[in-house]
Structure 1
Amino acid sequence: MDEREVIERVPKQLFIGGTWRDSDDGVFEVYDPGNGSRLCEVADGRGTDAEAAVEAAVAAQDTWAATPPRERGEILRRAWRLMIDRADDLALLMTLEMGKSLTESRAEVVYAAEFFRWFSEEAVRIDGVYKRAPDGGGRMIVTRQPVGPCLLITPWNFPLAMGTRKIGPAVAAGCTMIVKPAQLTPLSMLALADLLVEAGLPGGVLNVVPSTSASSITSPVLADPRVRKLSFTGSTEVGRKLVAQCAPNLQRMSMELGGNAAFLVFDDADLDTAVAGAVTAKMRNNGESCVAANRFLVQSSIAEEFTERLTERMAGLHMGHGTEPNVTVGPLIDETQRDKVSELVTDAVGRGARATTGGGPAERDGYFYHPTVLADVPVDARILEEVFGPVAPVTTFDTEEEALRKANDTEHGLVGYVFTRDLDRAVRVGEGLATGMVGLNTGLVSNAAAPFGGVKASGFGREGGDEGIEEYLDTKYLALALSS
C-alpha cells in the first residue's frame, strides 16, 4: 500500500459511541515532520464532543464490566493478530505522521501489539481471596472490580505503543475509555480504533476525541464524577496540572511523566557493549523518548576512549526521511522541538562543552538535527536537563559514590542505565539509583511483560507487567457473617 492510500484509509472523524462523527468545531491539519507536507485533516473535538464521549462510556460501562473476561481477552487477542498482520501499513502511517524510520516504526507496532497479547492473557487472571476470619466467626471475600470509565491521554512520540499500553489493561479489566491522542500524531490512534472495531470491541467501550485544545477535552471529562480514572503520559509540567484537576473528584491516576536518565559507564565495563547500549538508549525514536539516556556519566579513566567510540558511532548514523532506505535518524517532531534542542546545545557550547560530532540543525526540508556528542559538559549546562533530541552530553566521575550522587541529582526518576562487569557493583548501583527502572548492561528496558514507570517527578503507577492491570481495578472486601 502506498503512502497516500495508507492515509486515505484512516478514519478522520471523532469516534464516539461506536460511530464516526464530525465535530462542530471543524478540522485541523496533520503534517509530515520529515518534509513539512500536509498529510490530511482530522476532526477537531471540543467540550461538547468530550461530554458525548463520557455519556457513551458511562452508558457502556455496566454491560462491558459484566462481559466475561475470556470474551474481553479474545477481543484483545484478535486485535493483536490484526496489528501484526498489518504491521507494514501501521508502520508507514506512523512514520508519516511522527517521523521515525520505518524500521523503528515496525518495531513499535510489534511492541504495541504485544500489550494486547499480554493483557488478553491477564484478563482471565483477575483474582481475589476467600479466607476464614481470624476469630473463626465469619469469612472474608476480596474481589476485584473495574474502576469504571477512564480518560486516557497519549503522547506524540509513541503514538501506537502508548495507546495499547493503556487500552489493553482497560479492556482486560472491564473499563470503558475516552482517549485523547496527541494533536501532532492522531492518525495512529484513529487507525487503532478502527482496528479494534474490526476485532469486535463493542460500541462505547472506546471513544477517541482528537483535538487542538487539550483542556477543552480534559476539563469537562475530569469534572464529571462518573469518570473514575486518568492515565496520562507526557511532561511533568502538564502532569502536575492534571493531578490538581483530579483532586475534586478524587479520581485514580497513573502518571508517566518526564525523565532525565543517567547512563553510567564504569571503568570495568565492556566498552563495545556500553557504546552500543548508549546509541540504543540515546537514539531510539530520534532521542524523543522519556527513557532516552540524557546524561552520560563515564568514569574518568575511560571517558576519552568512550567519547571517541560514541562519536564514531553517532557520526555514522544515516539521516533522512523515515521512508527512505537505510535511514537510522529521522526528523524531530516539529520546528519548536528542533529549536529547543538547538538552544540547549548552543548553551552548553557557550559554557565550554565541545561538539565532537554534529552540533546543529541539518540544512534540509523537515525538522532535522544532526546526531551530536558533547564532551567536557559543565555541570551548569542546561543540556543536563531532559533533552528530547539526538544529543549525548558526556560528563565524568571518579568514584561509585560520586556517580550515584550525580545520577540522583534530579527531580526525575524514571530510568537509569548501568554498565559494569562487576555483579556486586551492578546490584549496589542498581539499588542505589532513585528510579523506577534500571537497565543493567542494556540500553533497552521497555517490555510489555515488565512494569514501566517512575518515582519522584517522573510520576506514579505502572503500565505493563502483572502490575499494569492493577491500575484499572478496585478492591472490594465482603464481610460474610455466619450464623452460629
Structure 2
Amino acid sequence: MSGLVVKSQLIDGKLVAADSTFPSYNPANGDLLGHAPDATKDDAGAAIAAARRAFDTTDWATDKDLRLRCLRQLHQALDDHREELRELTIAEVGAPRQLTHGPQLDDPIGLVTYYADLLETCEFTEDLGVKESRGQRHHRWVEKEAAGVVAAILPYNFPNQLALAKLAPALAAGCTVVLKAAPQTPLTTLALGELIAEHTDIPPGVVSVLSSSRTEVGELLTTHPDVDLVTFTGATTTGRAIMAAAAGTVKRVFLELGGKSAMIVLDDADYTKAAMFAAFTICSHSGQGCALTSRLLVPRADHDRIVQLVAAGMERVRVGDPRAAETAMGPLISEQQRDKVDAMVRRAVEEAATLVRGGKRVDPGWFYEPTLLAGVDPDSEIAQEEVFGPVLAVIPYDDEDDAVRIANHSKYGLSGAVHSADDERAIRLARRIRTGTFSINGGNYFSADVPFGGFKQSGIGRESGRAGFEEFLEAKAFGRVVPPEEAA
C-alpha cells in the first residue's frame, strides 16, 4: 500500500468525518499507516438514535426478503474488494498474508453467505399445537423476533472475523447495529462501513460503524437505554466492566473473553507431531488469539524430551514481513503489547521458569521472538494469566487425573486440545475439561457453522453457527382460545 489511508465513519447511512482523528500504525515497521475519525460521545449518540429509529419505524426487522438481499449484496461487495481488504488487513493488523486466506479474511467473508443461507431457510415460528385447559382448547405457538438495537464492540486481533461474526447474524435476525472498531485497527473495520454504504441497500441507521480512541464512546454504547444488546469480544477485565454497566438497564450481553487454554500431550501420543503442532499454534498471529493453547501439559517423565522437540519446532516458524507469502508469524499489534509480553516473560523467569528459547524483542516494528518456557509452575502468573503473545508455558503432570486437574485449574474455559494415539481415550479426557471448544489430535472445530464461546470467565453465549444467530433473537409465546366452530 502507498500513501496514508484515510477512512470515514458510517452514521445513519452517511459516510462522515469527525472533528478530530487519531493515528493507526503498521505494526511490522512502526510507520504511520493512516488516520481514523475519533468519534465523540455525540457521534455515538447519533448512531444509537439512528439505529433505534431504523428498528422502531421501518420494516427492516420484519422484511426477510430485504435482509436477505442486503446480505447477498454485502457478500458480493466483500468478495469484489477482497484483495484491497487483504492488503489493508496485512498492513494494519500485522497478520501474515497466509493467515488472510483463512481466519483473518477469507473465512469471515464466508460467514455472510452462511447467515444469508440460514436466513433463507429459517422458520421464525414454532407451532406448539393445541392444549386443553380450564374447559377450553388453546392454540399455542412461539415466534422469534429481532432482539433490537445491538452495540457490537471489537478487539484488534481478528477485526474482519469478529465484525462479521457479529454483524451478519444480527442483520439476518433483523437487528440494527452500531459497530465500534478497535482503536488499534480502525481502518480495517471502517472499510467495512464504506462497503455497506456504497454497495448495499442496507437502509440508513441499520448499520453504523464508528472508530474512537475515547473510552466514553464505549461507555455510552454499554449504558444507553436505547441499546438492547451488547456483544463484546476482548479482555475479561473489560467484559466484567461491561456486564456491570449493562446491569443498569438489564441489557442482554454476549461476551467472548480471554483464554488460557491447555494442550495435553498424553503418554501414548506422537511427541514429534504434538510438539510441532504446539509450536506453530502458539505462533499463529503472534499468539494474539484468545483460543490458542498457551499451556502445554506433558508427562513429567518426558518433559525435557518434549521441550526440545517444541524448541526445534519453533525454530522452523518463519518470522518476518507479514506481506511475504512464506511468513508464518508477524509482529505484535503495538509496542505497548510487546512490552507487556516481555515483562510477563521476565517475571516468569524470576519465578523459576526456564527460558528455553526466545524472550527477545526484534526491531524494526513490534516483533517478539517465539518464546518457550519450561518447568512452569501451574499456579504462576504465566500459567494463569493471558499473555496474548507467542509464549508457550510447558507444565509437567504426573498422571491423567493430574493433567485434567491442571487444565481445569484456571478462571478461563475457552478452548483446549489433547494428543493421543487412542482417539477414544482422547475424547474421554476432552469431556472432562471445562471449556467451550476442544481439538482432538489437531482437529479443527472453528467454522462458520460451529458455535464458539467459553465456560467460566471466558464469556457468556456463543458466536457463529445457529447458536450465534439465536443470540440476536427473542422468543415470544402466543396463546389463543380456539373457537368451538374452529375446533369442530
TM-score (norm 2): 0.93
Structure-2 separation of matches of 1:375 and 1:147: 48
| Structure 2 residue 114 is the aligned partner of structure 1 residue 113 | no
Map of 1:367 onto structure 2: 366
Offset from partner CA, 1:362-412 (integer Å, 9 cap, x none): 2x2111111111222233432112111111111111211100100000111
Moved beyond 4 Å, runs of 4+: none
| Structure 2 residue 86 is the aligned partner of structure 1 residue 91 | yes
- What is the 5 A alignment of 1:60-459? 60-62=54-56, 63-107=58-102, 108-124=104-120, 125-135=122-132, 137-197=137-197, 198-214=199-215, 216-362=216-362, 364-384=363-383, 385-442=385-442, 444-459=444-459
2:268 aligned counterpart, secondary structure: coil
Map of 2:27 onto structure 1: 33
The more displaced of 157-166 and 103-112 is 103-112
Q: CA deviation at 1:226?
A: 2.2
1:203 aligned counterpart, secondary structure: coil
The more displaced of 457-466 and 299-308 is 299-308
2:169 aligned counterpart, secondary structure: helix
1:396 aligned counterpart, secondary structure: strand
Map of 1:49 onto structure 2: 43
| Contact in 2 for aligned 1:83/1:109 (Cα 8 Å) | no
| Contact in 1 for aligned 2:109/2:164 (Cα 8 Å) | yes
2:446 aligned counterpart, secondary structure: coil
| Contact in 1 for aligned 2:124/2:145 (Cα 8 Å) | no
Structure-2 separation of matches of 1:129 and 1:472: 17
Map of 1:12 onto structure 2: 7
Q: Which amino acid aligns with 1:292?
A: L
| Contact in 2 for aligned 1:141/1:480 (Cα 8 Å) | no
The alpha-carbon distance between structure 1 residues 39 and 110, as it changes in their structure 2 partners (threshold 3 A), is: same
Structure-2 separation of matches of 1:179 and 1:186: 11
Structure-1 separation of matches of 2:66 and 2:332: 41
| Contact in 1 for aligned 2:7/2:191 (Cα 8 Å) | no
1:160 aligned counterpart, secondary structure: helix
Q: CA deviation at 1:171?
A: 0.7
| Contact in 2 for aligned 1:315/1:357 (Cα 8 Å) | no
State the aligned residue count.
Answer: 476
Structure-1 separation of matches of 2:60 and 2:279: 44
The alpha-carbon distance between structure 1 residues 392 and 220, as it changes in their structure 2 partners (threshold 3 A), is: closer
The more displaced of 55-64 and 383-392 is 55-64
2:466 aligned counterpart, secondary structure: coil
| Contact in 2 for aligned 1:345/1:383 (Cα 8 Å) | yes
Structure-1 separation of matches of 2:270 and 2:21: 53
| Contact in 1 for aligned 2:190/2:210 (Cα 8 Å) | no
1:65 aligned counterpart, secondary structure: coil
1:467 aligned counterpart, secondary structure: helix
Q: CA deviation at 1:86?
A: 3.0
Q: CA deviation at 1:148?
A: 0.6
Structure-1 separation of matches of 2:378 and 2:175: 46
The alpha-carbon distance between structure 1 residues 127 and 302, as it changes in their structure 2 partners (threshold 3 A), is: farther
Offset from partner CA, 1:106-150 (integer Å, 9 cap, x none): 322111112111111121314321232331611002100001110
Structure-1 separation of matches of 2:126 and 2:325: 55
TM-score (norm 1): 0.94
